[in-house]
Amino acid sequence: MNDTPQSALRELRARAPNAHPRVGVVLGSGWKGLTEHVADAIRVPYADLEGFPRTSVQGHGGEVLLGRIGKQRVAVLSGRKHTYEQGDVRAMRTPLLTLKELGCEILVQTNAAGSLDPKMKPGSLMLLADHINLSQQSPLVGEGGDCFVDMVDAYDPGLRKKALAVAKRAKAKLHQGVYLWCLGPQFETVAEIRMYRKLGAHAVGMSTVPETIFARHFGMRVLALSLMTNMAAGMSAEKLSHAHTLEQAKLAGERASRLLADVIKEV
Q: Which residues are catalytic?
A: 29, 60, 82, 84-85, 112, 206-207, 230, 242
CA 129 to chain centroid, in Å, comes to 14
Coil, helix or strand for 79? coil
Distance separating alpha carbons of residues 134 and 184, to the nearest angstrom: 11
Look at residues 58, 61, 65 and name the one whose alpha carbon lies nearest to residue 43: 65
Distance separating alpha carbons of residues 180 and 196, to the nearest angstrom: 8
Coil, helix or strand for 188? coil
Amino acid at 243: A
The single-letter DSSP state of residue 232 is: P
Is the Cβ–Cβ distance between 65 and 76 less than 8 Å?
yes
Axis crossing angle, helix 157-169 with helix 242-266, rounded to the nearest 10: 100
Strands 63-69 and 39-45: antiparallel
Is the Cβ–Cβ distance between 72 and 27 less than 8 Å?
no
Dihedrals φ, ψ of 33, to 5°?
-60, -20
